A and B are shown apart, each in its own frame.
Chain A
Amino acid sequence: DIQMTQSPSSLSASVGDRVTITCRASQSITSYLNWYQQKPGKAPKLLIYAASSLQSGVPSRFSGSGSGTDFTLTISSLQPEDFATYYCQESYSILFTFGPGTRVDIK
């Protein structure tokens, strides 16, 4: 089974900061990596698919990169509405494993 890890597990940042979240897969998943944002009491929202493609309607301050086992999600200038938990998810295997999440809160 593919294991997904994320770092950090949480971070505190200020509005306007550049934020980077890392996701690592236990084996190569080529570019089958997606990123989601989740706010309390809501369903996850797709931000990035196929490692680096921006989902329609998602602001361009979100970007993704990486391939193989190492991936990053970057928020270029953090906005108040971006405080949330972020999850990576592999779509390489039938298990569709999610990472444990990275919580972004206000410094």
Chain B
Amino acid sequence: QVQLQQSGPGLVKPSQTLSLTCDISGDSVSSNSATWNWIRQSPSRGLEWLGRTYYRSKWFNDYAVSVKSRITINPDTSKNLVSLQLNSVTPEDTAVYFCARVDLGPEGNGAFDIWGQGTMVTVSS
């Protein structure tokens, strides 16, 4: 079955870059029917979609306006993973970060059906 395994540091200093990875098993980051998303959750902002990457003959990215100037989501086809980088972080970026899949194929449902376990990231000096 499809599983997503997240990794990355739990503490990041203000103004630095938050970096997380999401290892994919049971599916391919290059799938023509999936999108690979990052979502975060905090008490103040609730669940917030941050962005996605997906492959449809070439790679595409979409990002939330709230983080568009600071975020990069990249696929790594050699390792079958997707990464998140968020630059210039502040304490407001403190949250639990999740990766999640959307399956748009014939058997898919268009919703976030597979989630990583979540990574609590604290922005503090």
Contacts and interface: CB of A to CB of B under 8 A. Distances in A.
Interface of A: 32, 34, 36, 42-46, 49-50, 53, 55, 87, 89, 91, 94-98, 100-101
A58 B98 CA distance: 21
A94 B47 contact: no
Contacts, number: 54
Nearest to A45: B115
Interface residues of B, number: 19
Given A43-B98, A94-B62, A49 B49 contact: no
Interface of B: 37, 46-49, 62, 64, 98, 100, 102, 109-113, 115-118
A97 B111 contact: no
Nearest to B118: A43
The 4 closest A-B pairs by CB, nearest first: A43-B115, A98-B47, A49-B109, A34-B111
